Structure 1
Amino acid sequence: MEYFNIRFREMSDDEFDKFAKWNIVDYSQDLVKSGLCSEENAFESAKKSFNGLIPQGKYTKDNFIYVVVNRENEDVGFIWYQKYKEDIAFICDFLILEKFRKQGYGKQTLLLVEKEAKEKGLNKILLNVFKYNKSAFSLYKSLEYKIRDEEAENISMLKNI
């Protein structure tokens, strides 16, 4: 059995509200940085995408939004994934806070998602990563995610679990 140095806890309503605001701003910046959207249109595009994926907020069916907590009970990041298709989980957003990076929390988080997704009857995990995000891409490759598709500045990766 695998041993995890982290656990997931559900976000409170206040945490989710902060997460939603942060997510929209961060994704809009990613859209600009990747060249997929102009600065003028990025915020509205990110907001539309977020609201389309999660119309009932954290209560949207088949969405799993967690704070990642370490053994010292510190919040080290978050993960949001959803049941995308009958047997596929899609990682919508994933972040380990800067001060906790390069300590194995990212890898542990993805492995725990795999375990939880399997328990939910899912057997694949899909995610997208921007090409400029080389550290995230390296992490996914190290965990045997395979490139499924490349389009513009985006790479789609898939792993059978």
Structure 2
Amino acid sequence: MGTLRLEPMTEERYDRYREVGEEKYAEHIASSGTLPPQEAREKARADYVSLLPDGFHTAGHHFLTAYDGDDEVGILWLHLERKSDGVHAFGYDFEVREELRRRGHGRAIAEAAEVYCRERDVVAMELNVFGDNTAARALYEQLGYEPTSIKMRKRL
């Protein structure tokens, strides 16, 4: 892997991301056991509409494309919001292209996201990880993220 960099996503790239982003989010909701597939699709649709009323141009949302040299390796969607103690970032989506996973790109994107946020005076970053995504959970723990809440369930 060469030098990873984050660049603002183009609106054209956002449109391609948006076509599959909601669907993948619904799949994660369903595969985690949070909701059955139909309700997961409805929640994903509602969440995207609520979070991004102006789509690509929604204030406070930063859509970034990750490159390793000239090759696109993933995407990052951050929301920056000022709170009483400073600017906070929430990572809504963080993805490495499937065929490039397990090669260090995820770690590199996460580290680049921290640099991006520090440059914008962000005091804390948060994200959500579905319980069945053990690889992502392990990576974030290695990077110093700590759980702030844990939702558990037992199938009967």
Q: What is the TM-score normalised by the length of structure 1?
A: 0.86
Unaligned segments of structure 1, at least 5 residues: 154-161
Name the structure 1 match of 2:102.
102
How far 1:85 sits from its partner (Å)? 4.2
Unaligned segments of structure 2, at least 5 residues: none
Aligned positions of 1:83-94 closer than 5 A: 83-86=80-83, 87-94=87-94
How far 1:40 sits from its partner (Å)? 1.9
How far 1:152 sits from its partner (Å)? 3.4
How far 1:84 sits from its partner (Å)? 3.7
2:77 pairs with 1:80: yes
How far 1:12 sits from its partner (Å)? 2.2
- Where do 4+ consecutive residues of structure 1 move more than 4 Å? none
Aligned residue identity for 1:125: M
Instruction: Report SS of the residue matched to 2:125.
Output: strand
Structure 2: distance between partners of 1:5 and 1:51? 35
Normalized per residue, the structure richer in strand is 1
Aligned positions of 1:37-76 closer than 5 A: 37-71=35-69, 73-76=70-73
Question: Which one is further off, 5-14 or 114-123?
Answer: 5-14
Q: 2:22 aligns with which of 3, 21, 24?
A: 24
CA distances 1:60-85 after superposition (whole Å, capped 9, x unpaired)? 111111111102x0010101011144
Structure 2: distance between partners of 1:82 and 1:146? 19
Q: What is the TM-score normalised by the length of structure 2?
A: 0.89
Higher RCO by CA contacts (8 Å cutoff, separation 6 or greater)? 2
Name the structure 1 match of 2:151.
151
What is the root-mean-square deviation of aligned Cα atoms in Å? 1.5
How far 1:127 sits from its partner (Å)? 0.5
